[in-house]
Amino acid sequence: MAFWKNAALRTVRRGHMWISGDRIERDAETYQCGPLFVEWEVPEEVTHPWPIVLVHGGGYQGTEWLDTPDGRPGWAQRLVEAGYAVLVVDRPGQGRSPYHVETMGPMGPGFSYEHGRDIYFPTKYEGQHTQWPFARGDEAAMDEFIAGYGPLSADLAFSEDMEADRITKLLDRIGPSILLTHSASGPVGWLVADRRPGLVKGIVAVEPMGPPFAHIPNIGSLTWGLAAVPLSWEPPVASPEELRAATPACACLRLPGCRSSPSPPKPQPSPPPVDPLLSN
């Protein structure tokens, strides 16, 4: 029997669109750099005022919101069933948003099975895992999970700035929305809220990339605390060093170069665009 015969019938409207990238001139020809693919779905009756934009994590693609590796409905479907208009993006260079080295620069390393197991099934916590419905040795589910991964850009600042630009343009088109980010897209949510505070009605940040000032091997660092590129701060901050000096040691987990200073006021994102919800 075809597996889809067991899936529940739903009445929805659905479609897709593109947020185009930048035009790049190379060798007398014009190319596009970093388009954003957007898939949308809405229920027969929308019961909530603001759509939810789902932004996937690093190395993955928008499919992470559609289904689980073992075939259960994902967050996108559940949110549509709850009455939300839902938009799922593929960040530039991932999923259906193509990556061209000629315009976007070098890629970071690929995503191995060993790296995946180290992140999601760390040996030191064996026996304590509660978040994965399939067993550690379920190779079929692990195959399906790893299949969706691809390399990230090797330039974190470049990719964050580009992704924030594309999602900002998406909100310019669709209006006020809620951002639901995951992992590496966490900084992008802060950047979009900083650039369009009137259009971001809320941020749900699931396991956002961090901690502040973290270094991510092979791709870059969160130089500006919450992101790899500058945010607005109040009082104004001219350099990352000023930001580190005003950040309590506990906030940056005593990372090298951070120090606690009681005299400068603690910088806060300005203007405060939303009350974010962080989930680990």
Task: Tell me which residues are annotated as active site.
Answer: 183
Q: What stretches of 126-257 show up as alpha helix (H) in DSSP? A: 139-147, 156-174, 186-195, 240-245
Structure token pair of residue 52: 């939810």
Count the alpha carbons within 13 Å of 255 in the hemisphere toward its beta carbon.
Answer: 19
184 CB contacts (<8 Å, ≥6 apart)?
A: 57, 58, 59, 152, 209
Strands (E), 3-94: 12-19, 22-26, 29-33, 36-43, 52-55, 86-90
Distance CA 153, CA 151 (A): 7
List the Cα angle 156/157/160 in 5-degree steps. 80
Compute the distance between CA of residue 140 and CA of residue 4 in angstroms, rounded to an integer.
19
| Angle between helix 139-147 and helix 113-120 axes, rounded to 10 deg | 110
CA–CA distance, 149 with 276 (Å, rounded to integer): 27
The count of other CB atoms within 10 Å of the CB of residue 81 is: 14
